[in-house]
Amino acid sequence: MKQLRDLSKQKIGVVAAGHSSVIANMAGLKLPLESKPLQALVSEPVKPIIDTVVMSNAVHAYVSQSDKGELVIGAGTDDYVSYSQKGSHDIVEGTLNAILELYPIFSRMRMLRQWGGIVDICPDASPIISKTSIKGLYFNCGWGTGGFKATPGSGDLFAHTIANDEPHKLNAAFNINRFVSGDLVDEHGAAAVAH
Amino acid sequence: MLNYNHTIKEEKSYQGLQMIEMKPVMKLIVRGKKREFLSAIGKSLNMVLPTKANTSTQSEKLTALWLSPDEWMIFSNGVVKENTNSYETETLLNKNISKLDLGAVVDVTDQFVRINLKGDKIYNLFQTGSPFNFNDFRNKTGSVTQTILAKIDVIIHNQNRNEVNLFVRRSFSEHLFAWMNDSASRL
Amino acid sequence: MFLINCPFCGEREQSEFKAGGEAHIVRPKQPTELSDDEWAEYLFMRKNIKGVQFERWNHVHGCRKWFNMVRDTSNDQIKAVYKMGEKPPIK
Ligand SMILES: Cc1cc2nc3c(=O)[nH]c(=O)nc-3n(C[C@H](O)[C@H](O)[C@H](O)COP(=O)(O)OP(=O)(O)OC[C@H]3O[C@@H](n4cnc5c(N)ncnc54)[C@H](O)[C@@H]3O)c2cc1C
Ligand SMILES: [Zn+2]
């Protein structure tokens, strides 16, 4: 595939999360990403039983209760690349095993829904908010399993990066060139599993 | 002399299922690729290693399980007397395999625990915690599989109709046995 | 969730396997002469294809052998399985 060099007068910012590589490939660009299914589950609604978000790095799972009374449960990704939006049953089983280690009382809860979203994961598990080797093409991606809470800040910094064709000092470290220079930002190490 | 400390202290019995640790049992892992390796093992032990996937072979004293195209487990059919065991099989294979650079021989007597299961509920038990399809396996004496049971790596050998040997790493054995009892009590 | 036909053991549940990522990435013959860009390309950059992907898998909970697989990542359909060192049976 031919790699684009310059979008000349245009500027394009790509925020396609799990599909970032698909878009990058259109421009002949490879990204340091793998897209994997990440699942979550929701139970039948019950009366208030847990009033906070509980996240365990030891058994690897999280649970909270929605205002409607449903338990919201999740854990980690499958280990293979997939865009199928359905993860494996094995992951669901492992997630619920972990939840039951924490809360045996949930053993008879019925799960109502389960789904898999496709998350784009960097080798260092940190995001990319960056210019690329193609002038005028920018990527905000690699948020993996933890890009929800960062959305407003990441949007702001991405806009800054596109407008100035230079990163803001807060996202300078999250440039795509870190995979060449070796200045990785080890989110796995910093956050263990939770974020 | 075999200095084996068993991990599973008691025999357990349920309707249609008995579980007991067989101990001490000599266990070896042998690895090799060359044809000379296979024939040297054959000559030394007077038995052929199974080359067909998921099968085993047996002599009067020993059983050999296929684990991969170049790996087998050999174990003694009966229990070994602790004070008379002199590692004669390992010594013999050391001489005829390792020393001649034909392959590798490792004693795993203490690494693996052999649990013997009997009864017509064995496969009902396995079904509660394994992704493996036992339909063909249960009808073929001598079948071998490596799979997962309760998230734990196991080697399972169809010894006879309604009798299997299950090998599990020692450090997981107590937990697995507890899980098997829990699961068996609810079959 | 899918079944994988291990070239050594036969058909098994995917949970017995570990995914090993993109296949046929050739290890540099002369690592000392590689530029930083080439290192990054080799270590980190991935096609991450949505569609037919060539990949490596290991039957970790079975025979522990590595092998190659061709899978459509958009629907997890497996197109082919072949041993390490063999040419892919399809393009
Ligand atoms: C089950 C699950 C649980 C999660 N839990 C948490 C959590 O607890 N905390 C946390 O911080 N994060 C969590 N995340 C991660 C978080 O959801 C994501 O990191 C975040 O939503 C990414 O935001 P985004 O704006 O970059 O991309 P998205 O919100 O994914 O948006 C990408 C958009 O691009 C669109 N798109 C794709 N391709 C194209 C195309 N070719 N043309 C046009 N549009 C296209 C898509 O339709 C989509 O709307 C979770 C993710 C999942 C799947
Ligand atoms: Zn296998």
Residue type, B162: N
CA of C67 to the centre of ligand 2 (A): 9
- With b for 16 or more beta-carbon neighbours within 10 A and e for fewer, the A148-161 pattern comes to eeeeeebeebbebb
CA of C53 to the centre of ligand 1 (A): 23
Residues A105 and A154 in one domain: no
Residues A117 and A140 in one domain: no
Does residue A5 have a pLDDT over 90? Answer: no
Identify the residue whose tokens are 């892919």. C88
Whole-number Å distance between alpha carbons of A150 and A193:
16
Residues A153 and A174 in one domain: yes
pLDDT tens track for A58-81: 888 999 999 999 999 998 899 999
Residues A84 and A160 in one domain: no
Average pLDDT over residues C7-35: 96
What mean pLDDT is reported for chain C? 96
The beta-carbon contacts of A150-158 under 8 Å, at least 24 apart in sequence, are A154/A127, A154/A129, A157/A129, A158/A13, A158/A15, A158/A129
Region of poorest pLDDT, from A6-10, A118-122, B181-185, C21-25: A6-10
CA of B157 to the centre of ligand 2 (A): 16
As a whole-number percent, the residues of chain B with pLDDT over 70 amount to 97
pLDDT tens track for C45-86: 999 999 999 999 999 999 999 999 999 999 999 999 999 999
- Nearest Cα to A126, choosing from A39, A191, A76, A36? A191
Nearest CA to ligand 1 atom 19: A147
Whole domain around residue A103: which residue ranges?
A: 35-121
Residue list, CB under 5 A from ion ligand 2: C 6, 8-9, 59, 62-63
Chains contacting C (3 or more CB pairs within 8 Å)? A, B
What was the ipTM of the complex prediction? 0.94
Does residue A177 have a pLDDT over 60? Answer: yes
Q: How confident is the model at residue B2, as a pLDDT?
A: 55
Q: Does A1 touch chain C (CB under 8 A)?
A: no
Does residue A106 have a pLDDT over 70? Answer: yes
Please tell me whether the overall predicted TM-score, pTM, comes out greater than 0.80 for this model. Answer: yes
Nearest CA in chain A to B151: A94
Q: Domain ends where: A104, A121, A138?
A: A121
Residue A170 within any structural domain of the chain: yes
Which DSSP letter does residue B81 get?
A: P
Sort out which chain A residues have CB atoms less than 8 A from C20's CB and list them: none
Question: Do A147 and A127 contact (CB within 8 A), yes or no?
Answer: yes
Contact flag A180-C76 (C-beta cutoff 8 Å): no
Residue A189 within any structural domain of the chain: no
Residue A164 within any structural domain of the chain: yes
Q: How confident is the model at residue C90, as a pLDDT?
A: 86
Residues A17 and A66 in one domain: no
Sort out which chain C residues have CB atoms less than 8 A from A176's CB and list them: none
- Ligand 1 first shell, C-beta below 6 A: A 15-17, 19, 23, 38-40, 74, 117, 119, 143, 145-149, 151, 195
Chains contacting B (3 or more CB pairs within 8 Å)? A, C
Chains contacting A (3 or more CB pairs within 8 Å)? B, C
Whole-number Å distance between alpha carbons of A160 and A138:
11
Q: Which domains does chain C have, with CATH numbers?
A: 3-83 (3.30.2270.10)
Residue A191 within any structural domain of the chain: no
Which ligand is nearest to the Cα of residue A23, counting in written order? 1
Q: What is the CATH number of the domain that holds A158?
A: 3.50.50.60
Q: Domain ends where: A87, A121, A155?
A: A121
Q: How confident is the model at residue A30, as a pLDDT?
A: 95
Which ligand is nearest to the Cα of residue A55, counting in written order? 1
- Residues of chain B with confidence (pLDDT) below 50: 1
Q: Which residues contact C13 (CB under 8 A, 6 or more apart)?
A: A90, B131, B132, C1, C3, C4
Out of A12, A14, A15, A86, give the residue to mutate to test ligand 1, the one with the largest number of ligand atoms within 8 Å of its CB.
A15
Q: What is the CATH number of the domain that holds A85?
A: 3.30.9.10
Residue type, B12: K
Residue A53 within any structural domain of the chain: yes
Residues A94 and A135 in one domain: no
Could you give the number of structural domains in chain A? Answer: 2
Does residue A190 have a pLDDT over 70? Answer: no
Sort out which chain B residues have CB atoms less than 8 A from A94's CB and list them: 151
Chain C from 42 to 71: CB within 8 A of any B CB: 61-65
Contact flag C12-B153 (C-beta cutoff 8 Å): no
Length of chain A: 195
Phi-psi bin for B33: left (phi > 0), alpha (psi -120 to 50), beta?
A: alpha
Which ligand is nearest to the Cα of residue A128, counting in written order? 1
Residues A155 and A94 in one domain: no
Contact flag C14-A31 (C-beta cutoff 8 Å): no
Residue A188 within any structural domain of the chain: no
- Nearest Cα to A31, choosing from A116, A121, A119? A121
Q: Are strands B112-118 and B17-22 parallel, antiparallel or unpaired?
A: antiparallel
Q: How confident is the model at residue B1, as a pLDDT?
A: 41
Whole-number Å distance between alpha carbons of B97 and B39:
10
Length of chain C: 91
Q: Are strands A12-14 and A137-141 parallel, antiparallel or unpaired?
A: parallel
Residue A138 within any structural domain of the chain: yes
Q: Does C38 touch chain B (CB under 8 A)?
A: no
The phi, psi pair for C64, rounded to 5°, reads 65, 25
Q: How confident is the model at residue C62, as a pLDDT?
A: 97
Residues A130 and A116 in one domain: no
Does residue A57 have a pLDDT over 90? Answer: no
* DSSP secondary structure letters along A47-112: S----S-EEETTTTEEEEE-TTSEEEEEEEE-SS---SS---HHHHHHHHHHHHHH-GGGGGPPEE
Q: Is the Cα dihedral B46, B42, B58, B78 positive or negative? A: positive
Does residue A1 have a pLDDT over 60? Answer: no
Phi-psi bin for B159: left (phi > 0), alpha (psi -120 to 50), beta?
A: alpha
C52, burial (CB in 10 Å: exposed 0-12, middle 13-18, buried 19+) = middle
Sort out which chain A residues have CB atoms less than 8 A from C15's CB and list them: 88-90
pLDDT band at A189 (very low <50, low <70, confident <90, very high): low
Task: For Cα atoms A17, A31, C71, give the angle at the middle one, nearest 5 degrees.
Answer: 80
Residue A61 within any structural domain of the chain: yes
Q: How confident is the model at residue B81, as a pLDDT?
A: 79
Measured from the Cβ of residue A137, the count of other Cβ atoms closer than 10 Å reads 22
Residues A65 and A87 in one domain: yes
Residues A109 and A127 in one domain: no
Residues A111 and A55 in one domain: yes
Which DSSP letter does residue A144 get?
A: T
Interface with chain C: mutation pick from A82, A93, A126, A128, highest number of C CBs within 10 Å: A82
Nearest CA in chain B to A94: B151
Sort out which chain A residues have CB atoms less than 8 A from B151's CB and list them: 94, 97
Residues A13 and A41 in one domain: no
